Structure 1
Amino acid sequence: MAATSFAERFSGLVPIQLKGLLLSILLLIIALNAAAQGVVVQGTVQSGQDSLSLPGASVLLYKVTESGTAPTPTATATDIDGNFRFEQVAAGAYTLKINYIGFKLFSRAVKVAQQPVNLGPLKLLEESTTMREVEVIGRVALGEQMGDTTQFNAAAFKTNPNASAEDLVQKMPGISIEDGKIQAQGEDVMEILVDGKRFFEGDVEAALRNLPAEIIQNIQIFDKKSDQAEFSGFDDGNRAKTINIVTKPDRRKGSFGQASAGIGTDNRHMLGTSVNFFDNDRRITVTGVRNNINMADYSIGETPGGGMRGRSGDANGLITTSRLGVNFSDEWADKVELSGNYTINHREVDQAQLLRQNFMIASDSGRVYTENSNSQNEQLNQRFRMRMKYQMDENNEILFKPRFTLNKGNATSYFLGNTFNNQGPINQTENNVNSESNSLNLESDIHYRHRFKKQGRTFGTSLNNQYNSSRGDNYRIADNIFYAGEQQRTEQLNQFRDNRGTGYSWEASFSFTEPVGDSARMQLEYQVSNRSDDSERLTYNLAEITGDYTLLDTLFSNSFRSDYLTQEVELGYQYNTKKLRFQVETEYQRADLQNDQRFPEPYNMERTFHSVLPSAELDYRFSKTKNIRIDYRTNTSAPALSQLQNVIDQSNPLHLRMGNPNLRQSYQNRISMRYSNFDEQTNKVFYMGVRGSVTNNIITNSTTVAEAPIRLSEDVVLEQGSQLTRPVNLQEANWDLRTYFNYGFPVNIISSKLSFNGAVGHTRRPGMVNENINISNATNFRLGVSVSSNISEEIDFNISTRSNYNLVLNTLLPDRNNNYFNQSTSARLNWIFLKGFVYRTELNHQANAGLAAGYDNNFTLWNMSISKKLFDREQGEISLSVNDALNQNNNIRRNVTELYVEDVQANILQRYFMLTFTYSLRHFAGR
């Protein structure tokens, strides 16, 4: 079948029926385009001292009548740039009031006529404080709810003098660290802002660890809309849980940071620094670390050498890291915002691992695979990200975001794998591999947005380009033994594999919003994109006569190209009032997938998919502090290039893998609901949520376990007991459902925060084993409790425990159903005593039940240090620390698939002592 040209495919993308639908949509928008009443009132809230913007300020607009000021105002909050905007304001006299913690109440009379009102910068004056004897009654307010933003008062939470922002936010209700990630209100935090400006460009952990808690005035938590949604006012559903750190006005100009050097037993060492240079809008952060104690980065408030904070970096293996990073942000002439970072990272990883897989195969109920492996891996990574926003005027802006990533690596590895059942050994493989790899990824986004004179009418367009290339060389020697059958057989593989790949993709979009009456808007959006991937995988066997790898193995070689072209047309409607926001959208998508195999045999395949993708969102605010949000989305997902390539992967000769060029896209329905309540009077926080997805036509694995030898080609036989896995589409739906809650409140008796959290999750994943469908059902129950101190700066502790109970059920082999239990308990204490002495300790206990025999089920990790502050201002500190004092640390995890239940244990850093010197820098303008 001849491949059609891009122009021919593109011209046929929009059928006649769709063209008629688009014409009808445009006529409908014109018909609904009623003249909106009222005008826009807008302005910018800034600090009167340094003219910095104040995000999250509460802005109230009161109508003035003959009888006085209306009791119920129209309210909004400033965005990350301090801007506020009221639309559809009727003509008349108004009073504008602005509230912001730490500043005096601002009030101004505003007169609205027929023209838009731009109040420009509005300067707020700081509250003056007179030191006098006062009587303290009650507790300092933790914070307040400001529209969709929850704001906490940093002064209400006690931390040690050298604490980081990460230490501070963990004390706040609804914020926790789950599996190494910062979560707020049950969702992963995706962005950190400082005074409304991006900080560390999406690297949440680094952003929080490189800011000292002492410079923070407020912490704000909200769902940040996309740049397009913030500009147009039409929510596109792309939101990111965001923390905005509002700094104290007198801490916005200065230099602050920390540096450490340590030496320990077993040749352990560490050098690290993190320094910030702040000059109002201009912020530069330099970080660097060199260590062999598994620290992935270095940050303010760190206590190196003792593994404190429960996050000493990657848990698997022994890791040596050299890392240097620069983060920057600035603003020029109130028109250009620039931010970005550059990181170069070199890692050496020495890893040993033991795994055991219990298979769900009805014909072989006692089948088990075990593997012992070790590897040495060296990686050099460079990454650059930048974001530049040019505000041409109040109605036009350009956003440009370039990025690149460069990776280079080499590795040597060895593994010994064995398969056996109740009757004895089935097969064995012993592999030695040497490999080198290089990859490059370039990407750029450019957006242009325009706001028309008519309120609510906007236009936006964007173009994304992405290019990637990769190359890898792989040398492998494998000795295989096959015990099954009438006669034992052995084979040796000595191969060289050359992998090369390039990919290019682009996406263009156009959107137009139009007001419909006073409270509604419509949006029409069109998007077209194309992804082209070209891959070549050539495998050569060793020619014994010449000693070179010149014998091309066509079964394990492939040259392949894939093109995925999509077009989408979307119509949306949004209704928005003070309490209710409702939005519904319908998208028509046409996707064309074309696969062209050039080698070893020519093969072409073209498929066209038509999809209707509806979405809806409901946001209702019961009161100032209570709200509920329900969100429904649909999407499609195309198969990856590696899943499409019809070539056998022999990385493990006992477990062969290959692609499937006949794969189709999958279709997913997602729904989420979240309810939250923050009581400002009692400082109680409660939130709960439900998230679920159903994926139809899912791409999953089909595994064939050879009960007798299966000839794959003239040269390759799938021996008895070996397995071949390839991706397929299944009609059986994949289900993923999770519900969670958190309830936190202050405990006055011990001046601490107590919180309870829990979750129930269920995953239903289908797969195929020997042409039989197996449904793996995994259910998880989690319950946890934590206590975080708020006593004083001298005593800081946190105690938490979390229990997980898991049920694993399988339809194909019920007697392999498995239940297992895990409990994680931790306690952390920082205690400043006598004159400048500091004791830090962290205790983590892991209890496991139900794992495979031979795996350590319980262990206790105990880290601690004793330190002494030095110099007049206590800027220096010398400490002696011990990591894993009981020498019990280990690393165990369980993975559940549709084919097997797997237990994995890897080597990990264990006991060592370290002597460390740390110096803290704190210098602010005027202090």
Structure 2
Amino acid sequence: MKHLLPLLLLLFTATLPMLAHAQNAKGELAGKISDETSKEPLSYATVSVYNAQDTTLITFRMSDDNGIFKIPGLPLESRLRAIITMMGYGVYRHEFTLTAAQPILNLGEVKMAASSTLLSEVLIVAETPPILVRNDTVEFNAASFKTLPTALVEDLLKKLPGVSVDNSGNIMVNGKAVSKILVDGKEFFGSDPKIASRNLPANVIEKVQVMNDPEALRRDPDMPEMDIPQVINLKFKKGVKKGLFGKLYGGAGTDDRYEGGGILNMFRDTMQVSVLGYSNNLNRPGFGFEDISRIGGFDRSGFNSVMIRSDGGFALNGISFGGTEEGIQQSSGGGANFNTVFNNGITLNLQYFLGGIDADLRQITNSSQLVDEDTITSRRVRNQFSKSTSHRIGGKLDWKIDTLTDLSVTPVVTIADISSNQIAFTNTYGNFPELINESNNTQFYNNNTLTLGNDLTLSRNFRKKGRNLTYYGTYEYSTILQDQVNNAENIFFRPEPAITLLDQLRDNDTYSTKINNSASYNEPISKNVSAVFRLNSEYFDDKNALQTYDADPETDEYTLLVPGLSNELKRTGWRNYLTTGIKWKIKELTVQPAVRFTSLDITNTFQKNPTIKQDFFYVFPTLNVNWKSFYLSYNVNLREPNATDLQPVIDNTNPLFINYGNPELKPSVSNSIYLNYRKYDTKRSLNYSVYMNGEISNDAVTRQRTIDAFGVQTSRPVNTDGNWRINSSARFLKDFKYDNNRQYSIGGSIWASYTRTLVLFNDIQSFSQTWSLNPTLDAKMNLDDKVEFNQSFTLRHQQSTYEDNTFRSLKFNTKTSRSEIVIRLPKKLVWEATFDYWYNSNMAPGLQNNYSRLNGSVTYLFMKDDRAQLKLSVFDVLDQNLNAYRNIRENIIEDTQTVVLNRYGMLTFTYNIRNFGGKVGGRSSMFRF
């Protein structure tokens, strides 16, 4: 029953919108709207229904492409007033009453007369329509959409028809992404929409206007309709030109658990200063990803690397903000951000951030390889304590030189230090319980990284429509100084017990310089045809110096150089790409064929091996096709091997798993095709998409593995042909919104993949075929922000078969569900609970195949405008939490289980400055589980 409970909850939630609709579908108003003169149907006219006595808005709809509208769910035996409005036309009014005997009223064809009078001059204030369409701008009247007193702009946007906001705060309008939010027509909060949507109160908004991004259309006039970014302009009742928002929090719990931090954003006119600081030992970030990116300033200065873990931890540009390691973690960090706009069109951003994690990892990894009737199993138990600290100093300067020219410069300095102490105990079995070998390996690791970089972008649009030039240049210099000491005792039981010892220092230093210049030019030849040119030139200079030392038995110092394990690799060269093609536009179809000329000139110089030169020249076709909401592309890509794979020195830091390099590796050539279809049905509030990506690779880098009689495994990279990869997914989301107070959504997705990879194991060559299928169902319910319920359920099936019968087929299934409920009753209390369940159909002996995690909390709101919050929470009420997963690769099935936080209680106090904290509870809450 417990396996079926999440699915039953999901099905129950999915039926709620239909039940609610059936219970409230009492009466209906219908009709068709047309132009009185031309007789053409009028689409996007607003039909609003009010209570005739007090002019209270009941509901509204917009006419479709044929001018037809239907408004269900209207009350019976009440005097109602219908108001039909559209810019440029007079106002149509009609009062009516629906009865049980005649619950449906069809107005027939409503003919609208053109009018030069402004709409606001002929409407009573109380009858202001909830939606107006002004040319290409859709305008929402904020007063027509009810929100909580403490609601933010994001909560208001969620009420608007056609507008959706995901858990990360990303905004979509009719299926199109919102690129920025303006305040009274100005980029008051920078280019990140979430700065405004998740910090400004909704009750100061008078109107919300939505339009196409004019800058995006200027850059690419032929941009497909579904790809045009949207801009939201907020018109305020009273101007918000200065202020302070943010929050401070602190909490203590059982088992010495704690959390604390603060994040503030101070703004005046067009200047902003952000500061933040946090520390906790709860395996999670001090703030959410959206808080760091918007208030922390990363969305203003930009970021070129993002790492997000499934359990919520994340890092930006190499800076961890908590929860990015495994095991039990203590995270601390802080920083500041400065942003201002000058009158000469210059926007300046400066920032400094520090992030650090201390992690205690206790992990078991079980790997099984199935060959004929034999099973070779390796079980590794490791305990590791690590400490990492990262500093980032950066900024961004944007200069709008004139109306057609933009310049952007982004310098950055990153400094990172990582150290760890690890003890790993490994056993290898042949047909359990026969013990082949065992190893006890103590490791001390230290890594120091310095990165200096700068990005420069210059874009120029010319007077002639469609003509534009873009230059992009990057410079990066980095050093990685890495020391690793291994002290290992290895026992081999075949044919007779034997012991080997390892006590060595591996000093591996890497230096890298990269300079990349690229330019693209678009020249319109005719109204429908343009010529496209792209040039990319990249210089690189990589050095990998590896020195291995044995300990001197007299001094215990690592001074005895091991020549066979030491070498130096220097790789320099150029990558040059020239792409020429045409862009042909026929109505809604855009076809862009091109030819890419590629040259690679690489020199690999070794300290002890002959120099290897790699000169390649390729000519590849490319194709891009856009038609309405459909997009197709075909490309051929090159991937050079990593420097570590080219290093002709073995890595024996784990004596039971030895890695070799291969200096003769060639670049991989991959033919890839990409298909995407996205559609938003405004009439049905239905968003759906289909995606597929396929790739065939030749000279792909494949690991050639062996296991000898002593159980020692080796791995060496080689080039292989005939490797396939196909990924595909389909998604849908259906929204139901009733009376602006009740919202439901049902969504689902399915992700599938197929991989064909050559397995090289001992003297066996066999292609493996791996399938993975992952369907997911989601349902959400929001009743006037008083009760919220979310449910998701995911299945995963993975299976691997082999052409050679020497390898046995592998497969497994997992089930994952998450249930969440938020109740904001009575007025000052917020109750929350989440229940997570995970199940694996088959785990290695001794490892757990299922777990449940129940979290619960209650929050008390007090002080003026609920600025203060006191939250009592219990994590892992059932005391069953763990982290376990299974994966199939090559002919290996691997299980991993990690010790994580178990049950604890926590009492946290939060103070919201200026009460920009928004509604309390739910996944968007800063203190999520």
Q: What TM-score bracket applies, with the shorter chain setting the length?
A: 0.7 to 0.9
For residue 821 of structure 1, what is the aligned residue in structure 2? 813
Matched, 1:734 2:724: yes
For residue 747 of structure 2, what is the aligned residue in structure 1? 755
Summarize the alignment of residues 220-369 of structure 1 with structure 2, pairs less than 5 Å apart. 233=220, 249=236, 250=239, 253-279=242-268, 281-299=270-288, 311=312, 313-314=323-324, 316-333=326-343, 335-339=345-349, 341-362=351-372, 365-369=374-378
CA distance in 1, matches of 2:463, 2:597: 30
Structure 1: which amino acid aligns with 2:582?
Y
CA distance in 1, matches of 2:850, 2:134: 43
Summarize the alignment of residues 90-489 of structure 1 with structure 2, pairs less than 5 Å apart. 161=150, 233=220, 249=236, 250=239, 253-279=242-268, 281-299=270-288, 311=312, 313-314=323-324, 316-333=326-343, 335-339=345-349, 341-362=351-372, 365-422=374-431, 424-484=434-494, 486-489=495-498
Contact 1:760 1:779 in 2 (8 A): yes
Contact 2:727 2:751 in 1 (8 A): no
Moved more, 680-689 or 155-164: 155-164
State the SS of the aligned residue for 2:375: coil
Q: 1:666 aligns with which of 649, 653, 668?
A: 668
Q: 1:70 to 1:784 in 2, by over 3 A?
A: closer
Matched, 1:778 2:787: no
CA distance in 2, matches of 1:693, 1:157: 49
Summarize the alignment of residues 879-918 of structure 1 with structure 2, pairs less than 5 Å apart. 879-918=871-910
For residue 511 of structure 2, what is the aligned residue in structure 1? 502
For residue 610 of structure 1, what is the aligned residue in structure 2? 617
Summarize the alignment of residues 750-899 of structure 1 with structure 2, pairs less than 5 Å apart. 751-812=743-804, 816-899=808-891
Structure 2: which amino acid aligns with 1:435?
Y
Tell me how far 1:129 sits from its aligned partner: 14
For residue 519 of structure 1, what is the aligned residue in structure 2? 528
Tell me how far 1:524 sits from its aligned partner: 2.0
CA distance in 1, matches of 2:379, 2:349: 49
For residue 698 of structure 2, what is the aligned residue in structure 1? 696
| Structure 2 residues without counterparts, runs of 5 or longer | 1-36, 44-84, 90-117, 292-309, 314-322, 917-929
CA distance in 2, matches of 1:235, 1:515: 11
Contact 1:589 1:610 in 2 (8 A): yes
Q: 1:462 to 1:872 in 2, by over 3 A?
A: closer
Structure 2: which amino acid aligns with 1:635?
N
Tell me how far 1:487 sits from its aligned partner: 1.9
State the SS of the aligned residue for 2:648: coil
Tell me how far 1:257 sits from its aligned partner: 1.6
Contact 2:247 2:910 in 1 (8 A): yes
> Cα deviation per residue 1:42-77 (whole Å; 9 max; x = unaligned)?
xxxxxxxxxxxxxxxxxxxxxxxxx9999999xxxx
Moved more, 526-535 or 335-344: 335-344
Q: 1:566 to 1:135 in 2, by over 3 A?
A: closer
* Identity %, equivalent residues: 22
CA distance in 2, matches of 1:378, 1:174: 40
Structure 1: which amino acid aligns with 2:471?
T
State the SS of the aligned residue for 2:844: coil
Tell me how far 1:271 sits from its aligned partner: 0.6
For residue 624 of structure 1, what is the aligned residue in structure 2? none
Summarize the alignment of residues 700-715 of structure 1 with structure 2, pairs less than 5 Å apart. 700-707=702-709
CA distance in 2, matches of 1:728, 1:516: 47
Q: 1:498 to 1:583 in 2, by over 3 A?
A: same
Structure 2: which amino acid aligns with 1:590?
S
CA distance in 1, matches of 2:158, 2:783: 16
Contact 1:846 1:860 in 2 (8 A): yes
Structure 2: which amino acid aligns with 1:668?
S
Contact 1:781 1:806 in 2 (8 A): yes
Contact 1:201 1:341 in 2 (8 A): no
Aligned length: 774
State the SS of the aligned residue for 2:864: coil
Structure 1: which amino acid aligns with 2:393?
F
Tell me how far 1:184 sits from its aligned partner: 7.8
Q: 1:796 to 1:152 in 2, by over 3 A?
A: farther
Contact 1:887 1:911 in 2 (8 A): yes
Tell me how far 1:735 sits from its aligned partner: 1.6
> Cα deviation per residue 1:484-512 (whole Å; 9 max; x = unaligned)?
2x322111111112121111011122333
Tell me how far 1:185 sits from its aligned partner: 12
Contact 2:189 2:195 in 1 (8 A): no
Q: What TM-score, normalized by structure 1, do the two folds share?
A: 0.75
Structure 1: which amino acid aligns with 2:355?
N
CA distance in 2, matches of 1:169, 1:650: 56
Structure 1: which amino acid aligns with 2:278?
V
State the SS of the aligned residue for 2:255: helix
Tell me how far 1:557 sits from its aligned partner: 1.4
For residue 301 of structure 2, what is the aligned residue in structure 1? none
Tell me how far 1:345 sits from its aligned partner: 0.4
Tell me how far 1:743 sits from its aligned partner: 3.7
State the SS of the aligned residue for 1:833: coil
Q: 1:746 to 1:858 in 2, by over 3 A?
A: same
Contact 1:841 1:864 in 2 (8 A): yes
Contact 1:571 1:586 in 2 (8 A): yes
Moved more, 389-398 or 286-295: 389-398
Structure 2: which amino acid aligns with 1:602?
N
Tell me how far 1:469 sits from its aligned partner: 0.4
Q: 1:106 to 1:922 in 2, by over 3 A?
A: farther
Matched, 1:686 2:688: yes
Tell me how far 1:901 sits from its aligned partner: 1.4
For residue 8 of structure 1, what is the aligned residue in structure 2? none
CA distance in 2, matches of 1:349, 1:746: 44
CA distance in 1, matches of 2:391, 2:562: 35
Contact 2:367 2:892 in 1 (8 A): yes
Q: 1:414 to 1:705 in 2, by over 3 A?
A: same
State the SS of the aligned residue for 1:682: coil
Contact 1:457 1:514 in 2 (8 A): yes
For residue 27 of structure 1, what is the aligned residue in structure 2? none
Contact 1:524 1:570 in 2 (8 A): yes
State the SS of the aligned residue for 1:555: helix
Structure 1: which amino acid aligns with 2:396?
R
State the SS of the aligned residue for 1:649: coil
Structure 2: which amino acid aligns with 1:862?
L
Q: 1:687 to 1:547 in 2, by over 3 A?
A: closer
For residue 587 of structure 1, what is the aligned residue in structure 2? 596
Q: What TM-score, normalized by structure 2, do the two folds share?
A: 0.74
